[in-house]
Structure 1
Amino acid sequence: MTSRGLLLRGTVLIGVVLLLVLGLASGVLWAGTRTGLYALGLYRDGGAPTVDPTVFHRPDARSTVLPAAPSAPVLPDTSPVPGTTADEVAARIAALGPVQGESFGLVIDESTGQTLYADNPEGVAVPASTLKVLTSLAALEVYGPDHRFATRVLRDPTQPARLYLVGGGDPYLSKGPAGGPPARSSILDLAAETATELTTTGPVELVVDTSLFAGPGWNPDWIPVYRDYVAETSALWVDGARPRGAAIGRRDADPPQVAADTFVAELKRRGVQVGAITRGEAPEVATELAQVESMPVENIVEQVLIYSDNDAAEVLFRHVGRADGRSGSITDAQEAMADVLTELGAWSDGMRVVDGSGLSRANRVSASSLTHAVQVAVKPGADRYRAIPTGMSVAGVEGTLAGRFVEEGTQPGRGLVRAKTGTLTNVHSLAGYVRTGDGSWLVYAFVVNGEQEEYKTRVWLDRITATLAACGCRG
């Protein structure tokens, strides 16, 4: 080899070594930097919190649709013998020390049904976003995993020049092209099909029908600052009523009007003349001209859970409020949630559910209710509720747990703990499931209310669940 070749080869080797050293150093520096930023509130989890912790404030009938063929269980079967021992689990949790504030917790061995840890499990507390687990369970029970919500255009045969744009409560209807993942439907496609099917040649009138959900869209238990965290719930909107597409930020002031304007603009682009745009309800004699369908409910649930989507959770809440012929109002949704969760055994005395997202501090939920909801969803053959365990974030990997499990004692949970998070000022919670080091499947829920050291509490929750993941607790 020539001296020039040797020099070039040496230069390349030195460069590779330098890149490796710099890569390792940058990884270490970023891990430390991320932890510091996280503690200061400048680095956020993979998904948005229910509400910024710096803000201080105190269907028509039950669906029977199931997948055509059973899916594989989310949790493989485990041997119930000899089983994880309650004393060992309790000892490991106690070794982590106490947490400030009032705590509530429950851990159950899914393979045996045995309670391994209980800390005031029937007491009710503010759950924050872990409430979305209950909303998701109720929606899956009422509609089934395969149900889709249709946004339709109807026409009265006696008045063919009048079209009705009827909201079907699709939380992910888009004003851009259809596609994904997730597989969002598009109001542009609805307009395209409408233009194709129209037989009239003159201008048409558009009536916007949002009557699917009765009553106001704004929950009276929400405070004004929440307008950056949730929109006024409507049966018709596009892009989650988020003009900038961000989870935190201004929402559309009139979501149905934005959707109607987008629809009309596309009709006009396709040569359809549109006159007046009004609000009203489609008559019973109206027939369907066009429709687009949402992604299946199970995929909506997965999106709600992994990204803690307040807006979509509230739409599901109102859909639950249509169960058994109800009107879809906030009051009906509250009543339906209690009824459905009671039927499923996921309701405790003293509970109160006032919204679907967990934004309200008037919500009261028990650790027992949350744990049982997860149990229902992970049992073998529970295909109807499969989206709950598959939609939960993986610790240190994705969703609202992507940036967590970075402190000492939390690493054993990375990649193993799956949970729904909950975050409000002085409120933190986790509900989910984990496979232990000795092969047991555990389901759990932990809620802490009233603590003053926000970051320490979140790390405490991470450590508890990481301890469960590392547990060789068969005694």
Structure 2
Amino acid sequence: MPRPGNPGARLYPSAETLVARAKLGATSVGFAVADAETGEMLEGMNPELPLPPASVAKALTALYGMERLGADHRFATRLVATGPVEAGVLKGDLVLVGSGDPTLDTDRLAELASQLKASGISKVEGDFLTWDAALPNLHSIDPGQPDQVGYNPAVSGLNLNFNRVHFEWRKSGSGWNVAMDARSANRRPDVRVSRMEIVRRKYPIYTYEDAGDIDRWTVASGALGTDGARWLPVRKPTAYTAEVFQILAGSLGITLPAARLSAALPTGQELARVESEDLREVVRGMLKYSTNLTAEAVGLAASAAAGPRPDTLTASAGRMCDWVGSEIGGAASVAPALGSAMGSVGTGSLVAGEPGPTSATTGPALIDHSGLGGDSRISAQDMVRALVTLGPRHDLEPLLKSIRMKDTKGRPIANYPVKILAKTGTLNFVSGLAGYAVQPDGRRLAFATFVADVPRREALTRAQRERPDGMSSWVARARRLQLQLIDRWSGVYSA
């Protein structure tokens, strides 16, 4: 509904019209928009309908991490000696100790090896140990994803290169040469903890087997073509990190035995340390590139900081949801400023075939911190409450990605007067967008839009989830609708 007295509002199509034009079929659409300063809710469609947030959930994780860990928190990866160092010889064990750093890469691991060399150690008489219990060891983020997708890696207290390995193939005569390496900007050491075998077949393209100490992959020869590369997930991140460090130390003349996992955190002298950027910069990167591992590591570390350490993503996400719910007041105790105008568009269905008005939500119900799990749910109303209530506390707005307004043909509009800072989210037949729209007159709107065709998503087999038919066109229509709604709100609710 246009704001009374705003003559420009009549130039903008209604929300119902925009949803109908999107031709999203039986898709559910839920949105809410509020004045970001006062919390006055301006407009909503199915605002209380719980829908999958996809990667929009990472905005909540960023807030949760900064609340529990502090914006200046840094993840440290250390080398600890359990015995004395005599004449360059460590008379004890060398322990690689992780704190869950999701941004550790091969270059920074090489810096750790260089510090070890600079400490004067040339030989280790004891064992090479690893300790990764700062975070739980999880085989994957979402078990329902295809084996080969790099955005669904394992999680550990020792992570490397976002727990991905680089698979590369080059045509050679009638076959191919393959490589599995832990590449970063300046280094690409080959690894054996992840191994690839080419098999003469057409389908399936990839298979994965947990072969004890290694990740065993096969790839169909019929899918390789000539040359190519892709990232594959690592399922044994602690062993992966240890192997790469062993290679890097060996290149400096320090020979280490095969790593063994230590159940308890050994005590001793710290020999070397590398750290991540401060958490504010870590989450800035997470929100920009939507890195799932970063979200899970930050969320798990934030939960562990409040103790005790959670053993599953669901348990940790539950703690985050409890925190969000307590801070925004939950659906049952809506602040007057947040609830006064929610009926302006309506709480029922605006798409033929959808159910009628929904009951109030009970707060976010997320199963992980990245939004990768399709069973997570949050309403647009609760997301907007979080943006209004929690966003300013940790200055979330400048951490969000700048979103370009586009015309009807998908081309960016130059000099569009509204600044949009938001987090996107995409799963199979799920699209979300939430953040802030800053008007030329300075008024700031907080908004959240969730679009989902849950039945269509749930009908997909596990193998279909990497590139399902019809997904790209559906997402394009959903994203166009989200931008059209922002354009409407910016015109109707300008100061």
TM over 0.5: yes
- Post-superposition offset of 1:389: 1.7
Report the Cα distance in structure 1 between the residues aligned to 2:5 and 2:71, rounded to whole angstroms: 33
**1:194/1:252 Cα in 2 relative to 1: closer, same or farther (>3 Å)?**
same
TM-score by length of 1: 0.70
Identify the residue that residue 104 of structure 2 maps to in structure 1. 173
Q: 1:129 & 1:346 partners in 2: Cα distance?
A: 23
Work out the CA distance in 2 between the residues paired with 1:220 and 1:417: 30
- When the two chains are superposed, the root-mean-square deviation of aligned CA atoms in Å is 3.2
1:110 maps to what in 2?
36
SS in 2 for 1:125: coil
Deviation at 1:430, TM superposition (A): 0.6
1:108 match: secondary structure:
strand
Distance in 2 (alpha carbons) for counterparts of 1:222 and 1:317:
20
Which of 403, 426, 448 pairs up with 2:451?
A: 448
Q: TM-score, normalised by structure 2?
A: 0.67
1:302-333 per-residue CA deviation (whole Å, 9 max, x = no partner) reads 11111111121121122123132222422431
Per the TM alignment, residue 447 of structure 1 is displaced from its structure 2 partner at its CA by 0.6
* Contact 1:191–1:263 (Cα < 8 Å) also in 2: yes
Shift in Å, 1:174: 1.4
Return the letter of the residue paired with 1:367: A
Give the secondary structure class of the aligned counterpart of 2:71. coil
Q: Which amino acid aligns with 1:407?
A: T
3-state SS, counterpart of residue 365 of structure 1 = coil
- CA change 1:418–1:455 in 2 (3 A) is same
Deviations 1:147-198 (A, max 9, x none): 001111112238832111011111111112xxxxxxxxx1111112223335
The question of 1:339 aligning with 2:265 is answered no
Structure 1 157/347 Cα, relative in aligned 2: closer, same or farther at 3 Å?
A: farther
Unaligned runs of 5+ in 2: 85-89, 167-182, 185-228, 332-361, 457-469
Partner of 1:131: 57
Deviation at 1:472, TM superposition (A): 6.0
Q: Deviations over 1:379-436 (max 9, x none)?
A: 3xx3xx22x322222123xxxxxxx724359837587211111112221111010112
Q: In the alignment, is the contact (CA less than 8 A) between 1:434 and 1:468 conserved in 2? A: no
Q: 1:423 to 1:242 in 2, by over 3 A?
A: same
Which of residues 357, 363, 368 in structure 1 aligns to 2:376?
363
Cα distance in 2 for residues equivalent to 1:460 and 1:157: 63
DSSP 3-state at the match of 1:273: coil
- Contact kept? 1:426, 1:449, Cα under 8 Å: yes
- Which piece of structure 1 moves more, 369-378 or 460-469? 369-378
Q: Residue by residue, what CA displacement relative to the aligned partner does 1:198-228 show, whole Å, maximum 9, x if unpaired? A: 5574544211111111253424653335743
Greater Cα offset, 430-439 or 132-141: 430-439
Cα distance, 1:225–1:88 mapped onto 2, change above 3 Å? farther
**Structure 2 residue corresponding to 1:301, chosen from 262, 283, 286:** 283
Aligned equivalents of 1:204, 1:454: Cα separation in 2? 55
Residue number in structure 1 paired with 2:301 = 319
Per the alignment, in what secondary structure is the counterpart of residue 447 of structure 1? Answer: strand
Q: Name whichever of 204-213 and 408-417 sits farther off.
A: 408-417
Structure 1 residues 437, 390: CA separation in 2 closer, same or farther (over 3 Å shift)?
closer
Aligned partner of 2:233 among 239, 251, 266: 251
CA contact (8 A) 1:346 1:373 kept: no
Q: In the superposition, relative to structure 1, how do residues 272 and 203 fare at CA in structure 2: closer, same or farther (>3 Å)?
A: farther
Q: For the residues of structure 1 that align with 2:267 and 2:475, how far apart are their CA atoms?
A: 56
- Does structure 1 retain, via aligned residues, the 8 Å contact 2:417–2:440? no
1:161 is aligned with what amino acid? G
- Matching residue of 2:406: 405
Contact kept in structure 2, 1:194 and 1:289, CA below 8 Å: yes
CA deviation string 1:84-129 (max 9, x = no partner): 9998899754453535321111111123321111222222111111
Counterpart of 2:355 in structure 1 is none
User: Which is helix-richer, 1 or 2?
Assistant: 1
Match in the other structure for 1:161: 92
Counterpart-to-counterpart distance in 1, 2:252 and 2:126: 13
Name the stretch that deviates more: 436-445 or 277-286. 277-286
Aligned residue for 2:284, secondary structure, equals helix
Tell me, yes or no, if the aligned pair for 1:222 and 1:359 is still in contact at 8 Å: no
Say whether 1:394 aligns with 2:402.
yes
The residue correspondences of 1:415-430 to structure 2 (distance < 5 A) are 416-430=419-433
SS at match of 2:30: strand
Kindly report which structure 2 residues correspond to 1:164-313, keeping only aligned pairs within 5 A, or say none.
Answer: 164-176=95-107, 186-197=108-119, 201-219=123-141, 221-225=143-147, 227-244=149-166, 249-313=231-295
Q: 1:85 to 1:394 in 2, by over 3 A?
A: farther
Looking at structure 2, the residues matched to 300 and 336 of structure 1 have their Cα atoms a distance apart, in angstroms, of 21
Match of 1:146 among 58, 72, 75: 72
1:276-325: CA deviations, max 9, x gaps?
A: 32111354533322211111111111111111111211211221231322
Q: Percent identity?
A: 25
Deviates more, 1:200-209 or 1:116-125: 200-209
Alignment check: 8 A CA contact 1:167 1:236 kept: yes
User: Is the contact made by 2:33 and 2:43 (CA closer than 8 Å) also made in structure 1?
Assistant: yes
Q: Secondary structure at the match of 1:363?
A: coil
- 1:351–1:113 CA distance, 2 compared to 1 (3 A): closer
- How has the CA–CA distance of structure 1 residues 132 and 231 changed in structure 2, closer, same or farther, with 3 Å as cutoff? same
Match of 1:164, SS state, is strand
C-alpha distance in 2, partners of 1:253/1:223? 13
Question: Which amino acid in the other structure matches residue 373 of structure 2?
Answer: S
8 Å contact kept, 1:234–1:255: yes
User: What is the CA–CA distance in structure 1 between the aligned matches of 2:475 and 2:247, rounded to whole Å?
Assistant: 47
3-state SS of the aligned residue for 2:271? strand
Select the structure that is richer in strand: 2
**SS, match of residue 161 in structure 1:** coil
1:40 maps to what in 2?
A: none
Q: Partner residue of 1:467?
A: 488
> 8 Å contact 1:321–1:329 — kept in the other structure?
no
Letter in structure 2 aligned against 1:116: L
Whether contact under 8 Å (1:211, 1:235) holds in the other structure is yes
